[in-house]
Copies of this chain bind each other. A is one copy, B any other.
Amino acid sequence: MIVGTGPGKLEYLTLRAKEAIEEAEVIVGYQRYLELIKPLIEGKRIYPGRMKEEVQRARTAVGLALEGYKVALISGGDPGLYGMVAPVLEVLEAKGWRPGGPPELEIIPGVTAALAAAARFGAPLSTDAAFISLSDQLEPWEVIAKRLRAAAEADFVIALYNPRSRRRKKQFEKALAILKEVLPQDTPVGIAKGVFRENERLILTNLRELVDYLEEIDMATVILVGRRDTRILNAFLLTPRGYGQKYELD
Contact = CB atoms under 8 A, between A and B. Distances in A.
Contacts of A243: 54-55, 86-87, 90, 138
Interface in A202-250: 233-236, 238-244, 246-250
A151 interface: yes
Chain A interface mostly: mixed
Instruction: Give the size range of A's interface with the partner.
Output: 35 or more
A89 B233 contact: yes
Contacts of A125: 80-81
Interface stretch (A10-18, A28-36, A66-74, A170-178): A10-18
Interface of A: 6-7, 10-16, 18-19, 54-55, 59, 78-82, 85-91, 93-95, 98-99, 107-112, 115-116, 118-120, 122-133, 138-139, 143-144, 146-147, 149-151, 153-156, 233-236, 238-244, 246-250
